[in-house]
Amino acid sequence: MIRIAKIGYQYVNIGGIDINREGTGDYLFLFFRTPTEVWMGDGYQVFPENTYFLYQKGMPQRYRKLNGHYINDWIHFDIEPYDNYFENLGIPFQTPMHLHDSRGISEMISDLFMEYFDVGQQHEIIMDQKANVMFHKFSDMYQFSQDNGARLTNYRMKLFEMRKKIQNYEYCPKGVKEIAELLNISTPYLQHIYKEFFGTTITKDIIYGRIEHAVHLLSETEYSVTEIARMCGYENLEHFSRQFKKMKGCPPSGYRR
C-alpha cells in the first residue's frame, strides 16, 4: 500500500529554497515548476521547469533555487511491501525525468492533493489507489517520452483530444484525409501513428462516433432513418444500415422498434 505522509501542490516558496537533508525515511516525488539546482553527487546541476525527480528512501535530498520564488509539487510517501515497485515500472531514482506534456500527471497530483485533506472510512484505500494509478500513468508517459520525440508526443495529445470529440460526435470529419490536413501530415502517416497510439484505426473510431450518434437520434428523436443517416454523415442509406447492423446487430429501424 502507498501511504502519503505529506503532499504539496503548486507550493510557492517565497524568495527561493535550499533543501539539504540527509534523508527523510520515506520516498520523495518532486515536480519542479521552476528551474531547480539539484545535487547530483559531484556538484549542483540546473534542471529546467517541468522536470520530475524521485528520491529513493534514505537518500540525501539536496535541491535549491536561491534567487526568486520557487514553485513545485512534492509527495512524501512510503510503500509496503515495496517489491521493486519503481524498478518494475521503469521509473528511475535520482534521475531527472521529462515529459513532453505534463498536464495529465499534474491533474492527478492535484486530485491526490484534494483527497489528502478529505476523510472517510475508505480514505486510505482511495489515496493508495490514486497514487498507484498516478505512478502507473507516469510510467507509461515517461516511457513514451523516452521512445519518441516531442513532435510525436504533440501529435498524440492532439489526436487524443480529437478522438474524444469524434467518439462524442462533437466533431465528424468527412474522412481521414481531412484530419491529416488539419495536422499537416500525410494520410498514411496519420493512420500509422493513430494505430500505434490507440490500438485501433482512425476509420473505426469515425464509424463508432457516427453510429453512437445515430443510436442517440433513433432513441431520443422522431427523425426518419434516412434523415438520421444524413445527419450522421452518410449519403448512402444502405451503407449506413449495413454499418449500423454490423455494430449493433440489427438495422436502424429494428433498433428503434
- Residue 61, classed as helix, strand or coil, is strand
DSSP 77: E
Helices (H), 173-236: 176-183, 187-198, 202-220, 225-231
CATH numbers and ranges of domains, the chain: 2-147 (2.60.120.280), 149-257 (1.10.10.60)
What pLDDT does residue 182 have? Answer: 87
* Gap between the Cα atoms of 134 and 103, Å rounded: 12
The mean of the pLDDT values for the chain is 91
Question: With contact defined as beta carbons under 8 Å apart, do 18 and 64 qualify?
Answer: yes
* Sequence-distant (≥ 6) Cβ neighbours of residue 76 within 8 angstroms: 4, 5, 6, 7, 24, 26, 27, 28
The predicted model scores a pTM of: 0.70
Residues 144-178 have pLDDT tens digits of: 877 765 667 677 778 888 888 888 888 888 888 98
